[in-house]
Structure 1
Amino acid sequence: MRATDAFRAAFGADPRTVWHAPGRVNLIGEHTDYNDGFVLPFAVPWGVTAAVSPRDDSTIRLLSLQSPGDPVVISNHEESRGWTRYVVGVLAMLGDRVRGADIAIDGDIPPGAGLSSSAALEVAVASALDDLYDLGMTPMERALLSQRAENDFVGMPCGIMDQAASALSAEGHALFLDCRSLGSRNIPLDLAAHGMTILIIDTRAHHEHAGGEYAKRRAECESAARKLGVAALRDVTDLAGALDLLQGDERKRTMHIVTENHRVEALVGLLRAGAITEIGALLNASHLSLRDQYEVSSPELDLAVEASLRGGARGARMTGGGFGGSAIALVADDRLESVKESVSSAYAERGWQAPRFLPATPSAGARRIS
């Protein structure tokens, strides 16, 4: 195992534990998590592996096979930079429950694809530390701690979806999560039995929230909720009445959040009925809402969706936070090559970099592997 080998080479001993946490793709329910709404992600086969041993002092020594060089040595949490902040943030949130650690990281999530490598990194490290120090945390508690690390230490105001999907997902299932109560249940997503594939289309367009657009959307939703007198937009029951009280961007954001929550519940109903082949219309509607009402799509994402449908996909939409990253398409297995060719040709006609195609198999959440 690469992480174990790297740990041994750098630190001169075997790690005490090794954990793997996956990335995720969101089937539907976008930007609803920080509005106390519903989401339906599932874990993907790619993720982050963390080989970890505890230390007797407060020093953190970190290395990543994706950032070659000598281990980064951190004696003060505020010294962390770049990718190390996600790891150090987890230790910071654990406080005096842990001391230092030696950590070797390996990951195979396609970078910039919007498959939540940051949450996978946080959950892998949180799970390993929980294991090492016998903290007795539940998977959801690990997810919440990882979210706090990203919110309070890294400074990214994400919701709970990514970390929960990484920590709680089950193989062959999607995770239906109520982001207010944190209640969840696994919904069967047996694509192969229906001759279907969820195809991830990595647009290779830069995926980055740091420009402030993600935080701006969240602030708009919170402002709209205050004006409507509700705790969160999830609580809006009279959409038409709510829209009459709002203007501009806040009106559009509210329309997306309320209708997206309904789409999540409708899609869960179809999956529970075994009607996987019928979910395409909901995926299409979600994309249009994200494009026009939430305004988080991009030309590359829009073209991926449009070309997928021309190539024979049952439905398609952008997935993740937006502004780049990936789209997903529901495709019958006998139409896969047609969809790939349609998207590739459309990108070539624009002179854009060729997209990458990844079949998404619903996979298991975080687990100890050594």
Structure 2
Amino acid sequence: MSELLPAWDDQAAVARARALFTATFDGEPDGVWAAPGRVNLIGEHTDYNGGLCLPIALPHRTVVALRARTDGLVRLVSAQEDGLRELRLADVGPAGTPDAVEGWPAYVVGVAWALEREGLLDGGGFDVAVDSCVPYGAGLSSSAALECAVAVALDDVAAAGLAADDAGRARLAAACVRAENEVAGAPTGGMDQAAALRCAPGQALLLDCRDGATEQVPFDLAAVGLELLVIDTRAEHQLADGQYAARRTSCEDAARRLGVGTLREVTDLDAALAALDDAEQRRRVRHVVTEIARVEEFVATLRSGELRGDLLRAAAALVDASHTSLRDDYEVSAPELDVAVEAARAAGAHGARMTGGGFGGSAIALVDAGTAPAVAEAVRAAFAERGFTEPAFLLAVPSAPASRLA
């Protein structure tokens, strides 16, 4: 029977981060903070198109123990990476420049770099130890979880107070997006950081990426005898390898051709498609416009009543249609994702789709409570039959946003 990857409770998370910190640096940290990974229920590749998306925060989190410094030096250690890294904040520059930061430290110092440029940090430096139970490279926003854990830590030690309310958290999220885009060089939208900082337990976050507005949408699957199974295909997904950027560039070019600021403003899909002469670009636009509509329909379904009977079938159909669109029109799926989706559906899932940026990563499946291990086993068997790397699994329960743990 396939096992489900557990999340750490607060006590275990604090103990792990603090132990790594004290083993690496002299003394104790100023505190320990954590931020969650995320699963997007529906609304993929809509964020950078001014659209709608519907993520939840995972119980699986990245944890940082951090201590402020006054000399501008940053020292970093991670339980998931080898060695100690050191650099100076004054030497940090954008990706593609001589001062670019290589590897995972870019996601950490990029946040400090962005906060300093927003006038929210004085560039004093810090020591930081990182540990995480968010699967790496799984399309579950491990990078945003790291950025947002660092953001709330730096906000706290600087006594800036931004994490105290949603407006401040939105500013922190924007700084984290800037860090990922400009310093780490990954041209992502803002959904992941918004989820890590602005989600709420038991709720899905309806995020309007046109203006950053949010609404909390109740999402209590346990109350209706359902669970959300996450399938980490172990087909590692990368956002900085050019494919993601190519999709974003194609959408931005289409918007210019159509005379709109973003594809969110397309109100007549048929007319928009007729106005574009490139078949690939038409497919990209069709996905974005129909995916935004699917988010609206999914939220309306959730608000119509309990996910049972016809409402459950309607939600499942939207989830399935999202995967088809991502596979055929946006072309961001992968063989492992398609097999995971097909095997989960065949094993009884009510709906399944890839989640995240694609090109590998994870899929989600809406399953009856108690059947997740059996569905996971069916997926594992399908992967073994095709010679794929063995997948991993976890349950997604809408959880808390980034916060201080100790």
Q: TM-score range by the shorter chain?
A: over 0.9
Residue deviations 1:79-112 (CA, integer Å, cap 9, x gap):
6321001111111112262211111111111122
Which residue is equivalent to 2:200? 170
Change (3 A) 1:4 1:231: same
1:119 aligns to 2:132 (yes or no): no
Residue 318 of structure 2: which of 282, 287, 291 is its match? 282
Distance 2:158 2:370 in 1: 49
- The answer (yes or no) to whether the contact 2:187–2:240 under 8 Å persists in 1 is no
Cα distance in 2 for partners of 1:174, 1:226 equals: 32
Q: 1:73 to 1:337 in 2, by over 3 A?
A: closer
1:50 aligned residue (51, 64, 81): 64
Residues 208 and 334 of structure 1, relative CA distance in 2, 3 Å threshold: same
Deviation at 1:211, TM superposition (A): 2.2
Find the aligned partners of 1:62 and 1:338 in 2 and give their Cα distance.
41
Please, which moves more after superposition, 344-353 or 186-195?
344-353
Matched residue of 2:41: which SS? strand
TM-score by length of 2: 0.88
TM-aligned CA deviation for residue 334 of structure 1: 4.6
Structure 1 segments unaligned to the other structure (5+ residues): none
2:140 matched to 1:104? no
Instruction: Choose from 88, 108, 118 the match for 1:87.
Output: 108
Question: Secondary structure of the equivalent of 1:53?
Answer: strand
TM-score under structure 1 normalisation? 0.97
Superposed, 1:199-348 pairs within 5 Å as: 199-246=229-276, 247-277=278-308, 278=312, 279-348=315-384
- Per the alignment, residue 73 of structure 1 pairs with 86
State the Cα distance separating 1:254 from its structure 2 match.
0.6
Structure 1 residue 210: Cα displacement: 2.6
C-alpha distance after superposition, 1:331-356 (max 9, x if no partner): 01254344223212211211222221
Check whether the contact 1:311–1:335 (CA below 8 A) recurs between aligned residues. Answer: no
How do 1:111-190 residues align onto structure 2 when only pairs under 5 Å count?
A: 111-137=136-162, 138-190=168-220
Whether the aligned pair in 2 keeps the contact of 1:311 and 1:341 (CA below 8 Å) is no
Cα 1:274/1:210, change in 2 over 3 Å:
same
Please, which runs of 5 or more residues in structure 2 have no aligned partner?
A: 1-14, 93-98, 163-167
Aligned partner of residue 224 in structure 1, secondary structure = helix
Matched positions, count = 369
**Cα distance change of structure 1 residues 240 and 90 upon mapping to structure 2, 3 Å threshold:** same
For 1:24, what is the secondary structure of its paired residue? strand
Distance 1:350 1:6 in 2: 39
**Alignment partner of 1:362 is 2:398:** yes
Q: Which of the residues 376, 387, 394 maps onto 1:351?
A: 387
Deviations 1:215-249 (A, max 9, x none): 00000000111111111000000011111111311
The answer to whether the 8 A contact 1:176-1:185 is kept is yes
Q: In structure 2, what is the Cα distance between the partners aligned to 1:274 and 1:121?
A: 36
SS at match of 1:276: coil
1:28 aligned counterpart, secondary structure: coil
Determine the structure 1 residue equivalent to 2:12.
Answer: none
Q: What RMSD over aligned residues (CA atoms) do the two structures have, in Å?
A: 1.3
State the shift of 1:9 in Å. 2.4
Between the aligned partners of 1:3 and 1:366, the Cα distance in structure 2 is 15
CA distance in structure 2 between the partners assigned to 1:39 and 1:179 by the alignment: 8
- Contact persistence 1:312–1:338 (CA under 8 A): no
Where 1:357 maps in the other structure, the secondary structure is strand
Q: What is the DSSP-based 3-state SS (H/G/I as helix, E as strand, rest coil) of the residue aligned with 1:230?
A: coil
